[in-house]
Structure 1
Amino acid sequence: MAAAWDSATPVTADQTTVNITTDHVGDEAADASSGTIIDKVQEELKRAADKVEAEFSKNEAKMHRYLPSFRGLMSKDDRYFVPRCVAIGPYHHRAAAYLHQAEEMKRAAAYYFICERQSSGHSAEVIYARILSVAGDARSCYDDDAVLAGIIPQADFATMMFQDACFLLQYIMHANGVASQLPESLRRWFVANEDSIQRDIFLLENQVPWLVLDTLIYKPAHLLDLLRHCQSGSSSSKSRTISWGLPAESLPEYSSAIDLAEMGIQLKTNRTAKFSDTRLARGFLFSNLFLAPLVMDDLNACWLVNMLAFEIAAGTRYTNTSYVTSYVLLIAMLMDREEDVHELRVKRILHGDFSDQRTLSFLKDLLDLFDYWTDQHSDFMADLQDYRRKRWMWISLHKFIYNNLKSIVTVLSIISVLVGIFKTLFSISMKQH
């Protein structure tokens, strides 16, 4: 071993330096390569974060799609989700043959809209140029999926926005009795399809951005948002800390309409008919729960589903403006049995041609969409729980009287009759003596 070692070629100082230098250069190259990869990863992450922020900033103006939580309801009945008569926007563009007739009507409506504007000095070129100026922003409001990516070119998209916006404005003027130059044929088509049009133009996936309408004529996101805003009203309560909704299982138990009646709480319609105007007014003995009346028919049920879909998709629970959701949570809570539905009809809270069973089933299906309570509903339930705690003795007495009123009245009637008989017998006895 020693001989072998001695015969080995000696390593010079220069060779040692070269080896060390080479190793050092290799380490630097590896570090540089690693740094480049990290920089690229950070750039990708930043781009993703910027995209999320950009999407969130325009969330309320976005043309939302139905969330997966609505699939169960959609599988039962698509009448609340698919247009029957007219397609507005790209999501249902050329989707079904039965919608093609409305496409011709939209073109006719756009033509007469242009004619009206030309009579007031606005050329067709100027009107269309306005649409082109916002077409890019309008397109960005829709999902960038196969419906928009390549299938609908920019020019076709602008034309679609123009025709749809003109159609909507013409129909709105017609529905509100505003004089316009519509021919009798188009007027009759509007009248013949009124129910379907009113339903279709408020579907969540059947909207055009408000900015498109605004170029031709509070700025809501679209017609459905305008309907929701008008129906909901604005809360008069003081601003409060937003807790983003609480899990339903962590809050007090439900109370049906019959339960509230047993507690001495009477249901009454509010004066404003706004969903946000819901309050529990406490009296000395009895209390009143004021809430908006609800009409249950096909059209109003469709509007209700789509206003809910918009609030959920737009994330209004995080801005404390889920007025429709809060109302639905409350009205569905009040309906535990068909007897509760009947009680709401008696109190003039519930109207419409839906049967008690259908109304109950519909609202319970809506209730299945939520695994949380809104701040407004949580506040109401906390107020109701406080009412129970402070008036437990009065509630127990009132519940006994409420549930046994007929028996009590019967007993009192019997006692009254017996007293009358005894008085008569006593009177006869006194006369005999």
Structure 2
Amino acid sequence: MEPQVWEPCNYQLADCSTEHAVWIPDIPVLCDYESTEMACFEETFVASSRRGQQLVQYAATVTSKAAFCVFESKSQELDSENKLWRDKMHRYPPSIRELGKQYTIPKIVSIGPYHHGLEHLKKAEEAKHVAAYSCIKHSGLELDEAVRKMYDAVVSVSGEARSLYDTDTMARIDDEKDFWPMMFYDACFLVQFMLRKTKKKSTIHPWLSSFFKCNKDDIYNDIMLLENQLPRVVIETLERFTPAVSLRSFATLLRSILQNSHISKDLEATSSAILYKQPHLLGYVRFIIVGTNKSERRQDPDKQPNNKVKSFSVGAIELAEMGIRLTPSETPELAHMGFKEGHLSAELFMPHIALNCLNASFLVNMAAFEITSKPAGQKKEITSKLMSDHGEDTAVCSYIQLLGMFMDREEDVRELRSKRILQGGGGLADKETLDFFTSLQGVSVTMGTLYHRTIDDVEIYKQNSWMCVKANTFLYRHTKTMLTTFSVIATLIGVYGALFK
């Protein structure tokens, strides 16, 4: 006879001489502290229906305690995982994955286990072996000693590294045969690439140097993908054997690529305090690019926006019509954006960007990191966050949302170019730029603190300086007409004056 399934608050009243209670599928029946009693129960012969009913009720109590043990254990496991959430090697959220493979799948090299073994990435596996050869040869140790010490050092941190990857993915990967060599070869590849791009090119194997040069942009793209990361502890473990490598220098190089600008030493120095908290290369680079925002939020209660009209969309040309000038920030840090109100006009400043396919991928993956790296237990409502932080944790998302809001038409893109917010040649065309930011508006990219703070400031300006806004709008729309009219009038006056002399 098929066993009955016990459901909470609905005990089975069957005769236990033929049937017994069974807990929900996939939940163990026994719990350690009840195992002896439960085993005795299963061996008991029941002679009466009344006794059978009592034992079924007892079984329900025992199995419910067993289930609670399982639930409690899973809760503790997830709590422990949540504490390490920011250090995890996260997977893409669905909203980012919907953007397409060009932003989520590596083009030439896999780093870590998520894309390891893909057919189109196998050529880079040869490059990883050559990278290991270069690391060993230039470590300054005897070859046998170098191989042993370097590999053992990576293995010594592999347990910590393994715990940071997706559990389901790692269940299929053996440590000794797959994971340890993967961590070693991938770290060698990253270290050698960083070394070539920042300092001693002469120490790189000639074939490997050529491989890096020919595939430079694709490698830049791949090592900045969220699902293509190594735990920082692995990179730094191998860095100890190649002291010429500087993760900081490489991160600032990537920022100069994104913004087509040189990084000052003073600006780089301001970022040193929190760098050790970043979990991988992508997080490290994002921190360098984002920087800090120390601007204070408006606190005047008489100049707060009306919540009924808080949600709005405004293009770059509309901002210009209202007398709000878009200007590049003094520094290239993405968090350095804000709003300044003058007597007759206002200024909205934000960092510039050189937008091409590579930098578009950088932005998407930095936004993906911001979305995934915040532990669920630490998430707060936007309204409270606006009063308590400067917005660095969601600065990339805010930057993307603001730029996207300013672009309703290709004319808005051209306006942003004229204001030098969008810089550089050889990047995305106006239509491509508009399509890129439009696509991001449809995938639930987080509207961060800086985004909300900025639109608050614009709304406050519109509400409290409405006369200036109307005057600026009139002048913006009719200045050309008025100048043309005045020019015609001046010409006519000149002609009439000449005729009546």
Report TM bin, short chain. 0.7 to 0.9
Q: Alignment partner for residue 175 of structure 1, among 194, 197, 208?
A: 197
Once the two structures are superposed, residues 83-136 of structure 1 have per-residue CA deviations (whole angstroms, 9 ceiling, x without a partner) of: 11111111111111x322211111111121012224389632122111111111
Alignment partner, residue 432 of structure 2: 358
Alignment partner, residue 255 of structure 1: 314
d(CA) in 2 for partners of 1:38, 1:249? 50
Q: SS at 1:119's partner residue?
A: coil
* Number of positions where the alignment pairs a residue of Structure 1 with one of Structure 2: 394
Cα 1:238/1:136, change in 2 over 3 Å: farther
Q: Alignment partner for residue 421 of structure 2, among 326, 344, 349?
A: 349
1:32-431 counterparts in 2 under 5 A?
A: 32-74=58-100, 78-96=101-119, 98-119=120-141, 123-145=146-168, 147-178=169-200, 181-217=203-239, 218-219=275-276, 220-237=278-295, 251-315=310-374, 318=379, 320=391, 321-351=393-423, 352=425, 353-370=427-444, 373-424=447-498, 428=501
Query: Could you tell me whether the CA contact under 8 Å between 1:118 and 1:124 is conserved in 2?
Result: no
d(CA) in 1 for partners of 2:479, 2:309? 35
d(CA) in 2 for partners of 1:411, 1:172? 61
Q: Structure 2: any 5+ residue segments left out of the alignment?
A: 1-47, 240-274, 299-306, 381-390
d(CA) in 1 for partners of 2:89, 2:341? 42
Alignment partner, residue 4 of structure 1: none
Alignment partner, residue 31 of structure 2: none
The amino acid of 2:108's aligned partner reads C
Question: Whose Rg is larger?
Answer: 1
Kindly state the Cα deviation for residue 57 of structure 1 after the two structures are TM-superposed: 1.4
What root-mean-square deviation, in Å, do the aligned CA atoms of Structure 1 and Structure 2 show? 2.6
Kindly state the Cα deviation for residue 383 of structure 1 after the two structures are TM-superposed: 0.9
The amino acid of 1:261's aligned partner reads A
Once the two structures are superposed, residues 289-314 of structure 1 have per-residue CA deviations (whole angstroms, 9 ceiling, x without a partner) of: 11111111111111111111111122
Q: SS at 1:349's partner residue?
A: coil
Alignment partner, residue 10 of structure 1: none
d(CA) in 1 for partners of 2:464, 2:443? 33
Cα 1:79/1:27, change in 2 over 3 Å: closer
Alignment partner, residue 15 of structure 1: none
Cα 1:29/1:180, change in 2 over 3 Å: farther
Q: SS at 2:85's partner residue?
A: coil
Q: Structure 1: any 5+ residue segments left out of the alignment?
A: 1-21, 241-247, 429-433
Cα 1:278/1:384, change in 2 over 3 Å: same
d(CA) in 2 for partners of 1:314, 1:396? 43
Kindly state the Cα deviation for residue 315 of structure 1 after the two structures are TM-superposed: 2.9
The amino acid of 1:230's aligned partner reads I
d(CA) in 2 for partners of 1:272, 1:120? 46
d(CA) in 2 for partners of 1:259, 1:27? 76
d(CA) in 1 for partners of 2:112, 2:49? 64
Q: SS at 1:160's partner residue?
A: helix
TM-score by length of 2: 0.73
Q: SS at 1:42's partner residue?
A: helix
The amino acid of 2:396's aligned partner reads V
